[in-house]
Structure 1
Amino acid sequence: MQAPPSFLVIQVSRIGDSLFVTPTLRALAEQFPDAILDILAHPKRAEIFAHLPFVRHVRGVTPRTAWMRGWFHKPVYDYSLVYGFDASLIKLGLRLARETIAFRQADPELNRRLAHLIEPPPFQSEHAIWQLTHHAEPLGVTTTNPRIAYGVTLKERLEAERRLAPLRTHGPLIGIQPRSFPTKPYRDWPLAHFIALCQQIRHQIPQARFLVFGGPDDRTHNQPLVANLGDAGQDLSGRLSLRATGAIMSCLDLYIGVDTGPTHLMSAFDIPMVLFYHCLSGPEMTGPLDHPRCRFLTLRPRDGHCDASHSLGEIPVAAAWQEIRELLGINS
C-alpha cells in the first residue's frame, strides 16, 4: 500500500497573508486526509496555525535563518509549497522536499529546480485567498471553502471568558479595530467617527460594552476613543498575545473594524462584522469570503477616481449605524 504524501508549507508573512493560506491547508487535508502537513511560518505568526486540526507541526523560520536548515539529511517531505519571492525560503523548500511548488522567481536557475511553477497573478486580479490556492492545483487540489481557519482551544476560551467577566452585562460585547497600518492611514476610518458611532450605540443600548484592539503602537492613536468610552470600554492595544486576541474575539457579539490583520483573524468566527474598506483595496481583494454575517462599507468616490487622497471619512457614521442596527436586530 502506498504511503500517504507529506507536505511542507512555507509561508513567512504578515498576519493577513498567513491566515489567507489556511483555506489551501484545509483543502490539502481534505484531499489527502492521512497526509502529513507541517508549516514553517514567521516566528511571530507561527501560532496562527497552532491547533488547526489538519496541521501536524508548526515551526518558526525567517529568511535569515532559512539558510542554516535542511543541509544534513535527505528530503523529508514529498512536496513543499513555498509562498513569496525570497530565494532563501525557496531554496529551503528545495532542500526539504522532493518536489517544490512556488511562484515563478526572478532567478531562472531557481525556476529550473522547481517541480511546478505558478505564474504570479496580476496585481488585484483576484482575491488574495484565491491567489494562494494556485499552489495546490498541480496536486489536483481544488479549494472550495475560502473561509479563513483558526482554532481556539477550550482552555483559551475559558481564560478569555474569565477576563471578560467584569465587562459582561445584558448588552452586546463589541470589539473595535480602529487602525490599519501606520503607513497606510487612508485605510483608517476617522477616530472621531468611531467615537460618534460608539456614542450612538450606547445611546440606543446603554448596556453595550467595548473592547479596543490594536498593537502597542496604536495606544496613543486609540486613546481618545478609550477615554470617551470610560467604564464602558477596555483598551487591549498591545496588551494581548496573538492567541489571547483570537480567544477574546471568539467571545464577541459584534466586531467593527478596518482592513488589517486582526480583522482577518476575526473573520474566522461566525460573529457579526461591520468592516470599512478603501477603494484602493476593496473587500473583493481582501475581505472575508463566505462569511454569513459580514457587512462591508466601501469608499467609492463619486467621481470614479480613487487614490489615497480620498478619506474613509467620506463613509458617514449613519451608514455604519444602519448596518449595526440590522445585524443586531435593533428597531429604529
Structure 2
Amino acid sequence: MNDSPEWTARKSEASLWFQGLRDRICTAFEAIEDSQTTGPFADQPAGRFEQKVTSRAAEPGSDAGGGVMSVMRGGRVFEKVGVNISTVYGTLGEAARRSMKSRKDMDGIDEDPRFWASGISLVAHMQSPKTPAVHMNTRMFWTPHGWWFGGGADLNPMTEVPEDTAHFHAALKAACDRHDPDYYPRFKAWADDYFMIRHWNEARGVGGIFYDDLCTGDWEADFAFTRDVGSAFLDAFLPITETRRTETWTDADRDWQLVRRGRYAEFNLVYDRGTKFGLETGHNPEAVLMSLPPIAKWP
C-alpha cells in the first residue's frame, strides 16, 4: 500500500473529523460549566479550555507532526478534563515495530517502517465524586502495509449507579448496531478484558466498548463506524453528568474518589496502549500523560 493521493485525502479527512469532534465536545463541556449555578464550586468562574500546541520529538530539522492539547482545570463541574487531538508521522522505532509484527500484513515493517496516525483522546476527572470520570478515544493508523481504526469509551464512577451504566452502554450499543449487530457484544467484551487492573484483579470502571485493528477492507465503512462512536460520546456521557452534578457528597465520598483515581493512574501507566505508543514514538509527554488525574491517593 503506497501513500497515494487517495490515501493522502483519506488521512486529511480523518484528521479534520477528529478536530471537529474536539470542537463539539469542548463547546458542550464549557456550556455545562456555564449552567452550573448550584453546588460547592458554583461561585467560582466557569471553566474554560486552554489550548497548547504539542510536537513529536524528531531529528533536528525534520517534521514529525504533533497535536493540540485542550485542557480545562478547576472548573465548576470538571476538576480536570483534556481533549487532545494529534496527527503524527515518521518511522516506527524498534520497539514499536516489534509490537506491529503480530498484525497481519506487517511482514515488511522492518524494511519500510513509515507510519501515520491521527486521533482524539479525552479523559475527564470531575469535581463531584458523584459524577463519573470518563474516557473516550478514536484514531486511525496507517502504514505502507496496512491501515486500521481503533477506539472506544468507558465510564468510571466512584460507585456504580446501575441506571447510569445502562444509559452509557445503550448509547454505545446504538452506535455499534447501526453498523454490525456483532460489534457491541464483541467490543463490550473487549473493553471488559482491556480495562482490567490486573495486579488488583478489578475493573477500572463499568466498561463500555473498546476496539483496535479494525480493518474490514472497506475504509469508508470503518471510518463511518469510528465517527459514530465519537458522536455517541456526548449522548452517552452528558445526561449522566447533568443528573449527578447537583447531588450532595461527603468528605468520605471525596476520599474514595481519590483512591479510585489512584487505580486509574495505575492502569494508564502500566497497561494503556495509547500511553505506551505515545511515549515510544516520542510524542510530547505532557500530552501523553494528560489522562492522569490532578489529585489522587493510595491507601
TM-score after normalising by structure 2: 0.25
Whose strand proportion is higher, 1 or 2?
A: 2
TM-score when normalising by structure 1:
0.23
Does 1 or 2 have the higher relative contact order (CA < 8 Å, sep 6+)?
A: 2
